[in-house]
Amino acid sequence: MEYRYLGNSGFKISEITYGNWLTHGSQVENDVATQCVRAALDAGITTFDTADTYANTKAEAVLGDALKGERRESLEIFTKVYWPTGPGGPNDTGLSRKHVMESVNGSLKRLGTDYVDLYQAHRYDTETPLEETMQAFADIVRQGKALYIGVSEWTADQIRAGHALAKELGFQLISSQPQYSMLWRVIEGEVIPTCEQLGISQIVWSPIAQGVLTGKYQPGQPPPAGSRATDSKGGARFVQRFMDDDTLRAVQNLRPVADDLGLTMAQLAVAWVLQNRNVAAALVGASRPEQVQENVKAAGVKIPDEAMRKIDEILDGVVERDPARTAMGAPAGRVA
């Protein structure tokens, strides 16, 4: 495992970070989830990412239980706030001071820790003044409940405004957590240049494009039984954008590139996002311990420039690059 600094801070995280979205507390049993976390620790992963909304708070509790007994100082634990939690009351969502302050306390209790290393705004809240949100984050940092603050799926303009307020309030905004993969490159045009200028790193989710970049989905054929594309609990909805035959056909053409490098398709996909100098970590999830053991082998891999060019040639025409997709994918107003 290799470790990278997060933003301009002195804080290091494992470049392969374990995330438990769509798995813990919903798709896999708790004992299997614990086995996956143990596999991550055995592989040298020290950084774990979750959110209060995952499985409506259950994912945090499962992760907290799985990490019991570990030396807290040797771990980096991240969580997030914004999406609805609890029974869905009028203040159970968004980035109001009330929801943020109550949410961090709930997250700490479920995770079994006095603090999180990184607390992230899971989306931008268009209905709460940014000053209110950032003041709440500043207070959380001063109270020692979070060491650093980050954001997820914010536009370049939103990141710039948040960074300016954080600096004014005396705390560090050091990370952005967007979707990023060979197929989904919408952050390259605006978000990454802005973050490089401000000293903010990316912690990218879905580097394998919801499993599509493993090559397991074949053009013109139904998805394999038990795959994410058949998951009625939410997985299928997220993978659909990549399931057209042109995309699946192009992905199959990546296999010789992976073979030449001695990598699996999944390892190639994870290693590809880590070639970007603004990416501090790739988030990987797992429903089986073997998946962790496979994906972690992407750590430290250097893909030659010629292979990077070949990947671009193969995927030309099926890559999404429009920077506007970040704003288009965010809620126009607060989710009730």
Q: Which residues are catalytic?
A: 54
Contact between residue 247 and residue 183 where contact means Cβ atoms under 8 Å apart: yes
CB proximity list for 309: less than 8 A, separation 6 or greater: none
Query: How far apart, in whole angstroms, are the C-alpha atoms of residue 193 and residue 207?
Result: 19
Query: How far apart, in whole angstroms, are the C-alpha atoms of residue 283 and residue 205?
Result: 5
Residue 8 — φ and ψ, nearest 5°? -85, 10
CB proximity list for 182: less than 8 A, separation 6 or greater: 209, 213, 254, 269, 272, 273, 311, 315, 319
CB proximity list for 115: less than 8 A, separation 6 or greater: 108, 144, 145, 146, 147
What token pair was written down for 310? 């070949």
Residue 210 — φ and ψ, nearest 5°? 55, 30
What token pair was written down for 99? 């929801």
Query: How far apart, in whole angstroms, are the C-alpha atoms of residue 311 and residue 89?
Result: 47
CB proximity list for 153: less than 8 A, separation 6 or greater: 122, 123, 124, 177, 178, 179, 326, 329, 330
DSSP string, 236-287: HHHHGGG-SHHHHHHHHTTHHHHHHHT--HHHHHHHHHHTSTTEEEEEE--S
Query: How far apart, in whole angstroms, are the C-alpha atoms of residue 299 and residue 71?
Result: 23
